Amino acid sequence: GDWDFWTDWKDRRLWVTVLPIVGITFPAAVQAVLWWRYRLPFGAVISVLGLLFGEWVNRYFNFWGWTYFPVNFVFPSNFMPGAIVLDVVLMLSNSMQLTAVVGGLAYGLLFYPGNWPVIAPL
């Protein structure tokens, strides 16, 4: 949504609460499919890397390519720390239920500290 586009809209309330809830759906789905069918414990990281690549392509071509808007004002959110922890919890526990509870909680709680290096200068 708009909370993820503009730097000055990355507020400390709605961005932190809405985006991790919306952002866990695709990593959890890809992780579940890759684990259930192939026992591969890196579905969330693959999903987040694909999402991040698509967001950077979108930000570069649509903001810089069309309007020459500075890319450093529209950087995407960093979901990687939460995705890594989500995959590690699944790999260590071998339980989708424990991963949903503990990994999902860690995914949401690591979102804001994972973005501190990017938003610290703001």
Question: Is it the case that residue 10 has pLDDT exceeding 90?
Answer: no
Could you read off the pLDDT of 55-82 as tens digits, one per residue?
999 989 988 999 998 888 888 899 999 9
What pLDDT sits at residue 2? 62
Percentage, residues of the chain above pLDDT 90: 66
pTM: 0.89
What pLDDT sits at residue 18? 85
Number of Cβ within a 10 Å radius of residue 7:
14
Could you read off the pLDDT of 16-48 as tens digits, one per residue?
888 899 999 999 999 999 999 999 999 999 999
Topology of the domain covering 2-119: particulate methane monooxygenase, chain B (1.20.1450)
Task: Sketch the domain layout of the chain as residue ranges.
Answer: 2-119
Burial 46-78 (b: 16+ CB within 10 A, else e): bbbeebbeebeeebeeebeeeeeeeeeebbbbb
Angle between helices 80-93 and 43-58 (to 10 degrees): 170
Q: Quick check: 43 and 80 in contact, CB under 8 A?
A: no
